[in-house]
Amino acid sequence: HEETHRQLMHLLAADSQRSAALAQYETCRRLLDEELGVQPSGETTALYQEIFNDKVTRWQGDKASPGHLVTLSPGHPVTLSPAHNLPTQFTPFIGRSQELETVTKLLQDGRSRLITILGEGGVGKTRLALAAAEQLLPHFPHGTWFVPLAGVESTPTTDVEDSVASAIAAALGLNFAPGEPP
């Protein structure tokens, strides 16, 4: 469904979400390569170049916001949802309401851009973080990204900071040139 990726790229770019549009192209490119062993079509690549060169016409007037319908073409309404990579949870989040409220308040107050949740292995730190992220999706219309850091460590050739930066880049679908530091 490469056409769907193009439509989403165009919507994001037109809504001044250039980085998200470029990331969507990378997602499309990766999926086409992994699933079909092909590269994006010329039309998709041309749209990518337009976005990359900042040549896409921006929407004027009211911006579409997440949860509202926009029409890409006659008969094809689309609901915009905040971009995210949060994994689907197959079990309900039970308990920990106090901790969930604390985390969501910290993220909403505008003073905390990064929160570290500490605890022993298996106590539910990741599940708590994912529940907070899911609850706050509507408050971050440009996207919410989960970056698993389990196993990130320094190596003889890489500092832990570079490993974390590489994990973040991988979650966002960004690639570094060989030999280029993250």
Tell me which residue has tokens 């990741």.
126
pLDDT tens for 131-166 read 999 999 888 877 888 888 888 887 787 788 888 888
Is the whole model's pTM more than 0.75, yes or no? no
Instruction: With a cut of 80, say whether residue 50 has pLDDT above it.
Output: yes
pLDDT at site 178: 66
- Assign residue 162 a region (left: φ > 0; alpha: ψ between -120 and 50; beta: otherwise): alpha
User: Which pair of tokens denotes residue 66?
Assistant: 């997440």
Nearest to 144 by CA among 134, 131, 158, 154: 134
pLDDT digit string (tens) for 76-123?
555 556 778 888 888 888 889 999 999 999 989 888 877 888 889 889
CA atoms within 13 A on the CB side of 7: 13
> What pLDDT was estimated at residue 60?
47
Mean pLDDT (whole number) for 42-59: 83
Domain locations in the chain as residue ranges: 2-79, 84-146, 147-182
The pLDDT of residue 131 is 94
Q: CA-to-CA distance for 66 and 71, rounded, in angstroms?
A: 14
